[in-house]
Structure 1
Amino acid sequence: MEELFVSAILIYTLISCGCFLLTFFRARKHPYRFLVIGSWTMCAHIVYKLIWIVAADKGQYELPVPFGLAYSMLLYLFAHAYYQMKTVSRWQMLCFSSPFCLHLVLFVIAWLRPQESGWAIGYSSVYYASCILSLLVYATMTVRLYSRSKRPPTPTDVLIRQLTLLYFGLVVLTYLVLYELHAGGSGMGFEVRPMVFLFLAIGFALVLKYRLTRGVPIVDVKARLIDEDNAGLADATVSELPSGLVQHMADVIDKELIQSKLFLNPAVSLDMLSQRTSIPRHQLTQVFNRYYKKAFYSFIAAARTEYAITRIPEMGDTITLDSLSYECGFNSKTSFNRYFKEYTGMTPSEYRSIANQMLHIQQ
């Protein structure tokens, strides 16, 4: 029975961690998914604890699964995309995930070694110390991000600050767990480790509330684009806005979306724009259809293409078109080429060639 439990919990851990890493690397171009991955990871972590409570032998030591290294990292990446309007490279993603991968390897080794070998206690000590360091570093970096924001706080700002405060609380709890591990007790009259999972449950509840009330976008951008083009005009017929109000909203949108270059953010969406402008999503749809005569994502694609047109003569051959496509906010070079040719009648490489020829003639 004990061997069956050991095999089952190890398989569950490897599958959970594998799914986490797979979705983590796929979330680079869709930064809002970092928040969704975090909520899924919390669920997997809590289930791991429940399995131990229900099925483990009383004398068996509970190895901590390395999910604790993921939470503050995911929050920082989500906040980085929200405040800086930038995605991270695959190399950066690899660096961010390397501590988690290292501790996963150590977890498997400690799990397969006999308990009396000392690997379990050694791994746990290293893991909790790493969690304290990770929580402190990423939470501090997240504080620096939102402290620089000068605009009125949105629900997204509030969520980021709530989770950051929660992670600073986890630093204290993790230190007490580490102390309890070596001292044989915390001296507080109760076990500290269950309090960690209480904090995780609170974090999950905050994220769930945010997703239910704010509708965090988690579907593919292309699917949203098709949905907007097909359904946007139908939405515009609901509760028509006065022309003067449409003009005022268009001015607000122009300031937030164009002047601040929010359109360059690969994760930009109607939900994000609604949060930043305090204009309801359905009214934004009306403004784009009536004032700009375009669906939201068609407007974004045009704005990105215009930006690329201005950047190509400035850059010349100093940067690749692939890098330019990501700078402009496109998720791939293919979509960049398609929208650019639809807008200008030529590919980016053809346009750059003509621009370089004109520059040589002027010189």
Structure 2
Amino acid sequence: MDQSIISIFQLVEQVLGLLSLMIYGYLSLKLVIKYQKRITEYYSNIEYITLQWLINLLIGLFIGWLFLLFLTMVDLFVFDFTLPQSAYYLLFIYVGVIIHYFGLRKLTMIHFPALRPLEVLEKKPETPTNHLEPDKTEDAKEIQKLEKIMVEKKPFLDPNLTLDSLSDLLGVHSKKLSMILNQKMGTSFYDFINKARVEEVKIKIADPENDHLTILGIALDSGFNSKSSFNAIFKKYTGMTPRQYKSTL
């Protein structure tokens, strides 16, 4: 067989391989983004269990595969040269560096026992055969009860608060509480709890009796578990850094 035909077959094989990798990467990215969203439906602090590093990794891989696909297509249709094998070696090195930096660095910080409840989230809830429309009056009572608990007992002060622990306090099933937050109140568990923490920080910062405390100390007392997550969340909900907010008082 002519050598040029063999080269074309090899290039076509490379194109098909890269396309399959890109399709797999895209589907994986969709799944990870969906899973990341479900984490915010269960945990109030996600700094050490976030999957953003994996999302960044998959996006980086997708860009790398797209670049190699471009080079291969140029090789196939424009120039008569063989794509250097070193390009693929560089890609593997590139992947290894990203996995080490974004992956292993994060995984060493994860509190593994805290991930066990996520196994429950992966299971789809069973659809009851006799599904009834939920009582709107009952939902309104649950919302009022939830707001009362948030004011009186302040469960958000617990940095390890989860959907299960709050549902136990409320006396409803965690699925019921999740439905109330998502469908009736238009928020996620993560946003609901951290908004309450931000409001608590704002109240404490404005209180002259807390002038001896640092902003970070107030944040930790309000349920946040780190300076970086506190600063990001505070700015997300107020549009200002904690120091900028304090200067406006």
**What is the TM-score when the length of structure 1 is the normalising length?**
0.33
**What is the TM-score when the length of structure 2 is the normalising length?**
0.47
